[in-house]
């Protein structure tokens, strides 16, 4: 491969400088600030503060409720990521085969993408309303006494359903365009070699979709961890009580509702480390197995 070169090293640095400044000011400075404030317990108004070292972190480690929330976050992320990818892939494969009415079918599926998370949460509130929600009625007809906001597992189920529903369209769009970029000739060759449809899909189509799937995997994990905030906030009506919540929501509850700046900062730092670890893991281990063509 041919490398482009610069005559002096100052020109590229100058050209990069605006970008570096933006990164430093908007990303590293707040991150450093979070780390700094996680070492203190401070009065919300900023009048007094006490240096407590790692106490905010050791409090988190010793807090069984925090561990429960962390555990829920892991399960929630796996479920939301898996179901939104799996269902979207299924829909995309089917949509790829549709010839008549394909455009309206795709448009209808993509449509939900425009719904903002709090609106999705609000729709969830209506669907799962305790006394007249259609989905509550449906579950009751199956003998499941579904109670949003009262029962921990039921609320968790509603959170997963609404979050998955909200995320399917974006995955669908990517999967569909991925599928449509697979060359016809490859598929025809596969058709000759392999008569089973599922065999063709897993041996030929899916590996060719892998770069898209890998990209979506990262996007979906990030979505489940962070962007579901709006859905969760709406479903628990801002009063978590005994309902499940994710780590990000806990940062909000302690920092913005409870005005506990130090504790909330420590939690943000934990999240930063988590994201860093996740990114390193994904790109080191998973991406090696993916072949871009």
Token digits of residue 252: 């909000």
Minimum gap (Å) between residue 6 Cβ and another protein: 43
Q: Between residues 47 and 292, which has the closer beta carbon with respect to another protein?
A: 47
Question: Of 102-110, 215-223, 239-247, 268-276, which segment contacts another protein by CB under 8 A?
Answer: 239-247
Q: Could you say which of 97, 239, 288, 289 contacts another protein (CB under 8 A)?
A: 239
262 binds another protein (CB under 8 A): yes
Minimum gap (Å) between residue 150 Cβ and another protein: 5
Taking residues 134 to 163 in sequence order and writing x for each that binds another protein by CB under 8 A, - otherwise, the string is -------------xxxxxx-----------
282 binds another protein (CB under 8 A): no
* Binding positions for another protein, 48-87, rule CB under 8 A: 48-50, 52, 59, 65
Q: Could you say which of 39, 171, 254, 269 contacts another protein (CB under 8 A)?
A: 254
Q: Could you say which of 260, 266, 269, 271 contacts another protein (CB under 8 A)?
A: 260
Q: Between residues 60 and 168, which has the closer beta carbon with respect to another protein?
A: 60
CA gap 123, 41 in Å, rounded: 39
# of chain residues touching another protein (CB under 8 A): 38
Token digits of residue 192: 């000759």
Q: Between residues 147 and 200, which has the closer beta carbon with respect to another protein?
A: 147
Minimum gap (Å) between residue 238 Cβ and another protein: 6
Q: Which of 166, 167, 178 is nearest to 96 (CA)?
A: 178
Question: Of 29-37, 185-193, 241-249, 265-273, which segment contacts another protein by CB under 8 A?
Answer: 241-249
Minimum gap (Å) between residue 67 Cβ and another protein: 14
Q: Between residues 36 and 237, which has the closer beta carbon with respect to another protein?
A: 237
Q: How many CA atoms lie within 13 A of 252 on its CB side?
A: 15
Q: What is the contact surface with another protein in residues (CB under 8 A)?
A: 41-50, 52, 59, 65, 130-131, 147-152, 236-243, 253-254, 256-260, 262-263
């Amino acid at each position: 491969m041919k490398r482009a070169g610069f005559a002096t090293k100052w020109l590229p640095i100058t050209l990069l400088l605006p970008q570096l400044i933006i990164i430093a000011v908007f990303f590293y400075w707040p991150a450093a600030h979070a780390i700094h404030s996680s070492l203190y317990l401070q009065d919300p108004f900023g009048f007094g503060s006490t240096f407590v070292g790692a106490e905010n972190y050791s409090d988190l480690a010793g807090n069984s409720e925090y561990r429960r929330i962390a555990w829920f976050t892991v399960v929630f992320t796996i479920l939301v990521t898996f179901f939104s990818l799996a269902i979207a892939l299924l829909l995309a494969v089917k949509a790829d085969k549709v010839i008549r009415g394909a455009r309206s079918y795709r448009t209808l599926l993509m449509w939900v993408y425009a719904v903002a998370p709090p609106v999705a949460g609000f729709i969830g509130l209506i669907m799962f309303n305790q006394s007249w929600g259609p989905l509550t009625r449906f579950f009751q007809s199956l003998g499941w006494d579904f109670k949003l906001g009262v029962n921990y597992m039921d609320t968790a189920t509603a959170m997963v359903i609404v979050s998955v529903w909200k995320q399917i369209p974006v995955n669908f769009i990517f999967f569909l365009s991925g599928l449509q970029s697979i060359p016809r000739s490859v598929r025809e060759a596969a058709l000759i070699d392999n008569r089973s449809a599922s065999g063709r899909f897993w041996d030929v189509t899916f590996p060719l979709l892998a770069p898209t799937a890998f990209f979506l995997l990262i996007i979906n994990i990030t979505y489940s961890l962070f962007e579901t905030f709006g859905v969760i906030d709406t479903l628990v009506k801002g009063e978590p009580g005994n309902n499940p919540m994710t780590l990000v929501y806990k940062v909000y509850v302690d920092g913005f509702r409870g005005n506990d700046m130090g504790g909330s900062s420590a939690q943000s730092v934990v999240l930063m480390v988590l994201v860093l670890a996740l990114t390193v893991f994904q790109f080191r281990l998973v991406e090696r197995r993916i072949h871009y063509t």
